[in-house]
Amino acid sequence: MNYIDLLWNTMMEFLHTAHPAVIHFPIIGILASFMAGSTALLIKIVADIAYHRDWIDFEWKELAYRFVDRFEFTSYVLIFLGMGGYIIAGVTGFFSIGGVEPAINNTLLEYKVRLSLYAFVLCFTPIFLKTYIGIVFRRNVFTNKSYVLPILYLFPLVIAAGLTSVVAGTGGKYVYGHSILEIFGLSFLLPEG
C-alpha cells in the first residue's frame, strides 16, 4: 500500500466515524462565543455604571474596556470555530449515515439538518455586524457608546446556541432513542420519530 492510498483510506475512515467526536465543536464554539460576548457586555455595563457614579476614574474605565475588546475578539473567533465545526460535523454526519438521502427520509435527521442550517446562517449576523462596524466606522461593537449593537450581536448567537442544543438533543434521540432534552421537560422541541 502506498502513502496516497493510506492517506485516502485514513481520510475516508475519518469521514465515516468522526461524527461523534466533531459534533462538540459547534456546541462549544457557538455557546462559548455567546458567553464571551455576554461577558464583554457585562464588563461594559459595570464599567459604565461605575464611571458615571464616580466609583472609578477614566483610566480604570479604559482598562475595563480593554477586557471588553478582548472578550469581543474571543467571541468573534469562536463563532468561526462553531461554524467550521458545523461544516465538519455536517459532512461527517452525512458520511456516517450513508449520504444525504437517509437524512432527508428520516424525520429526526431532517429536523436536525434544518436546525443546523438555521443556526449556521444565524452566525453570519454577528460576523457581518462586527465586520461592518469595524470597516465602516472603525469601531468595535461592544466599546462604542451604544448598547443596541452588542444586543444585536448577541441575540442571533443566543438563538443559534439554543438551536445547537436542540440539534444535539435530536442526535441523542436518533442514536439512543431518548434525549437529555426530555429529562429537562423539553421533549416538545423534538419531533416524533
Q: Record the pTM.
A: 0.85
Are 82 and 50 in contact by the 8 Å Cβ rule? The answer is: no
pLDDT greater than 90 at residue 38: yes
Task: Determine the pLDDT at residue 1.
Answer: 63
Show the CA angle centred on residue 131, arms to residues 48 and 121, nearest 5°.
105
Ordered alpha helix ranges (H), the chain: 3-17, 19-22, 24-52, 58-97, 100-105, 107-122, 124-136, 148-176, 180-183
pLDDT digits (tens, 9 = 90+) for 172-187: 888 888 888 888 888 8
pLDDT greater than 80 at residue 16: no
Are 22 and 167 in contact by the 8 Å Cβ rule? The answer is: no
Are 136 and 77 in contact by the 8 Å Cβ rule? The answer is: no
Domain range annotation of the chain: 3-189
Helix (H) or strand (E) holding 143: none
Q: Which residues contact 129 (CB under 8 A, 6 or more apart)?
A: 141, 149, 152, 153
Q: Count other C-beta atoms under 10 Å from residue 35's C-beta.
A: 16
Q: What is the CA radius of gyration of the chain?
A: 21
pLDDT greater than 70 at residue 193: no
Are 33 and 82 in contact by the 8 Å Cβ rule? The answer is: yes
pLDDT tier for residue 98 given thresholds of 50, 70 and 90? confident
Q: What is the mean pLDDT of the chain?
A: 89
Q: Which amino acid is at 29?
A: G
